[in-house]
Amino acid sequence: MKSLVNKLVIKPGSRVKLAAIDPDDTHGIQKEEALVRLDTNRERLSVLQALLYAESRRALLVVLQGIDAGGKDGTIREVMSGLNPQGVGVTSFKAPEGAEKRHDYLWRVHNAVPEFGKIGIFNRSHYEDVLIVRVHNLVPKPVWSKRYQQINDFEKMLSDNRVTVVKFLLYISKEEQAQRFRERIEEPSKNWKFSPDDIKERGFWNDYIRAYETMLHNCSKPNAPWYVIPANRKWFRNLAVSEIVRQTLEDMDLKYPKPTADLSKIRFE
């Protein structure tokens, strides 16, 4: 179990070259084995979520980032399918609007952090403010370049206050992205997913890769690590994320709280 955690984590301060990571890599795991392990992990995640909910003293925040068509929705659907909906929430961060634009960029993010006892999943996140903002020059470099430390401080504050943070970059190749876009065009049930903006954003591929590399270098910390998940093969993506989330929860050493009454003295007439 620990092996994928150790293989895929970005060590704090390390320089990352995404071109050196093979998005097809499965680390020697075959699909049949992966599907069995995924089922086991989903069952265990259900138990761990119940422990987290019962304890209600800590929370888990799962951050998913990735280039368009990277598989964020699919990961949530496949990995988290066994969780109790009462104890999990998914927040999708689009372009800020309304009150979000009248506050600092982390305001809406902090507002979506899961409460104690729950798992929160961010589909995109506060990292958009050092990704799309940087790539499209939405704010000047002196502004976005300060955000790495601000984000580190924010996540450190969360971890100091019993919110465990784990972050995933779902990494696919440019060729795989093109194939997934073609499927969105050719399959009627997927037409709704396609937007002309997808093609426009594809033209900024190299700029996004550089932005991801800087993000990983600056913001993978012991209290909030980044993991780069080779995501061309969806089954391996799902396995890797499930094992890392499972191990993260296991490491929290969750326990059921003690009963508030002496159960030995309870009698029923």
- CB count within 10 Å of CB 3 equals 11
Q: Is 90 exceeded by the pLDDT of residue 267?
A: no
Residues in Cβ contact with 4 at an 8 Å cutoff, skipping those fewer than 6 apart: 27, 239, 240, 243, 244
Domain membership of residue 156 (yes or no) is yes
Domain membership of residue 258 (yes or no) is no
Q: Structurally, how many domains does the chain consist of?
A: 1
Residues in Cβ contact with 118 at an 8 Å cutoff, skipping those fewer than 6 apart: 52, 53, 59, 60, 87, 88, 89
Query: Which of 39-43, 76-80, 189-193 has the weakest average pLDDT?
Result: 189-193
CB 225 within 8 A of CB 217: no
Domain membership of residue 266 (yes or no) is no
The band of 129, judged by pLDDT with boundaries at 50, 70 and 90, is very high
Across residues 34-55, what is the average pLDDT?
97
Residues across the chain: 269
d(CA 33, CA 110): 38
Q: Which of 36, 60, 43 is nearest to 254 (CA)?
A: 60
d(CA 199, CA 204): 9
Q: Residue 1: its pLDDT value, please?
A: 47
Q: Residue 198: its pLDDT value, please?
A: 87
Domain membership of residue 267 (yes or no) is no
CB 127 within 8 A of CB 214: no
Q: Residue 2: its pLDDT value, please?
A: 57
Q: Residue 195: its pLDDT value, please?
A: 87
Q: Residue 153: its pLDDT value, please?
A: 98
Q: Which helix (DSSP H) or strand (DSSP E) does residue 123 occupy?
A: strand 119-123
Query: Which of 140-149, 191-200, 259-268 has the weakest average pLDDT?
Result: 259-268
- pLDDT, tens digit, for every residue of 199-248? 999 999 999 999 999 999 999 999 999 999 999 999 999 999 999 999 99
Domain membership of residue 260 (yes or no) is no
How much is the pTM? 0.95
Average of per-residue pLDDT values in the chain: 95
Domain membership of residue 264 (yes or no) is no
Across residues 24-29, what is the average pLDDT?
97
Q: Residue 252: its pLDDT value, please?
A: 97
Q: Is 90 exceeded by the pLDDT of residue 22?
A: yes
CATH number at residue 34: 3.40.50.300
Domain that holds residue 159: 2-250
Domain membership of residue 268 (yes or no) is no
d(CA 155, CA 79): 24
Q: Is 50 exceeded by the pLDDT of residue 182?
A: yes
Residues in Cβ contact with 198 at an 8 Å cutoff, skipping those fewer than 6 apart: 68, 69, 181, 184
Domain membership of residue 256 (yes or no) is no
Percent of the residues in the chain that have a pLDDT greater than 90, as a whole number: 91
Across residues 87-101, what is the average pLDDT?
95
CB 45 within 8 A of CB 245: yes
Q: At what angle do helices 72-79 and 234-251 cross, to 10 degrees?
A: 60
Across residues 114-134, what is the average pLDDT?
98
- pLDDT, tens digit, for every residue of 227-237? 999 999 999 99
